[in-house]
């Protein structure tokens, strides 16, 4: 575990010395936890709140799940002005690959709203989406945010329910307005 | 109109020279528009995006609609970290009274979420809530926000519908998570 932590911390220290607002990454092993998983070729799943994400790598991840492309200039701005940016990485040796992402807007006091939750298709069905969301919720909770919201597409409503999210509590409805 | 604009601009210039991110207030007359409404005793409804709102005055407004009290320290933080803070004032002579409020969190790029929409009961039923919301939407639109969301209590869902908000478009559900 030490190796990966060192690797990752060093990476963060170089990349975003000032903009990382939260404590260091948490590290979780997945799948094979045999002794060999500590060897160099082993795989780790690493979570981070660093903001200095390669926008092309993020675009590739979003492409993989079929999202419409968005101007990178706006994506950059959105990341800069998100309260929380959470990323999930597959780490192998000294290489890392972005395999999950989520971010949240917030007033830093009462409310946070989670946007752009994505897990690469190759890594879906392993419970990693849930782990990523728990990481996000832990971070938001540590900032004393008491009301966490999101807008869920129909096919992921049950996924969020298993994490404790409720639809329309006390009849409260999520509503959308688009420019016309 | 000139008098009020002068009065209000001067007030803003003193109070928040640096923190007002949007152009100056828009001014709308309500009710009686007879010639006498330009006299000193006349009433104007004024909208502003200034952030330097008296927290006690805001608390009084929220009390008036029966909201639970919140720590002013957190309200202050939430206002500071909102993307947009909109307030509605009754102006009479050189006095002004806070009669409406709304704020929005945002990633400054794609999404904004509107919170804490309130109109003083004495001023409800006159279309002012709608005017306040149109002011908010105009401001968000001018910042190129393409997706405006909110969470509506059951009794105001129809109100927001008249403004063009939709519930659950394409089955998308607003979901809530509370710490446990």
Q: Which domains does chain A have, with CATH numbers?
A: 19-161 (3.40.630.30)
Q: What is the pLDDT of residue A41?
A: 64
User: Is the ipTM, as predicted for this complex, more than 0.85?
Assistant: no
Residue to mutate among A101, A107, A154, A163, with most B CBs inside 10 A, is A107
Write the pLDDT tens digit of every residue in B14-36. 233 333 333 334 444 444 434 34
Write the pLDDT tens digit of every residue in B45-56. 999 999 999 999
Q: Which of B78, B109, B137 lies nearest to residue A77, judging by beta carbons?
A: B109
**Mean pLDDT for the stretch of residues B63-91:** 97
**Mean pLDDT for the stretch of residues B147-169:** 97
Segments of chain A scoring below 70 in pLDDT: 1-41
Write the pLDDT tens digit of every residue in A46-64. 999 999 999 999 999 999 9
Q: Contact, A163 vs B177, CB < 8 A?
A: yes
Assign B178 a pLDDT band (cuts: 50, 70, 90): confident
Cα–Cα–Cα angle for B79, B84, B86, nearest 5°? 85
> What span, in angstroms and rounded, lies between the C-alpha atoms of A105 and A59?
20
Residue to mutate among B107, B136, B155, with most A CBs inside 10 A, is B107
Contact between chains at A175 and B153 (C-beta distance less than 8 A):
no
Tokens of A151: 């807008």
Q: Which of B74, B108, B176 lies nearest to residue A149, judging by beta carbons?
A: B176
Contact between chains at B111 and A113 (C-beta distance less than 8 A):
yes
Q: Is pLDDT at B96 greater than 70 in this prediction?
A: yes
Q: What is the pLDDT of residue B40?
A: 55
Q: Give the position of tokens 């220290």.
A: A13
Contact between chains at A177 and B148 (C-beta distance less than 8 A):
yes
């Amino acid at each position: 575990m030490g190796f990966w932590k060192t690797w990752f911390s060093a990476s963060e220290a170089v990349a975003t010395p000032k903009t990382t607002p939260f404590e260091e990454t948490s590290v979780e092993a997945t799948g094979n936890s045999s002794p060999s998983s500590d060897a160099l070729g082993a795989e780790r799943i690493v979570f981070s709140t660093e903001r200095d994400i390669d926008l092309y790598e993020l675009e590739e991840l979003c492409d993989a799940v079929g999202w419409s492309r968005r101007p990178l200039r706006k994506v950059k701005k959105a990341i800069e002005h998100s309260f929380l940016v959470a990323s999930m990485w597959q780490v192998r040796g000294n290489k890392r690959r972005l395999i999950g992402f989520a971010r949240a807007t917030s007033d830093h006091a009462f409310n946070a709203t989670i946007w752009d939750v994505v897990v690469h298709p190759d890594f879906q069905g392993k419970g990693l989406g849930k782990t990523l969301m728990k990481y996000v919720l832990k971070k938001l909770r540590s900032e004393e945010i008491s009301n966490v919201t999101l807008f869920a597409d129909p096919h992921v409503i049950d996924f969020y329910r298993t994490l404790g999210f409720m639809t329309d509590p006390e009849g409260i409805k999520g509503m959308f307005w688009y420019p016309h």
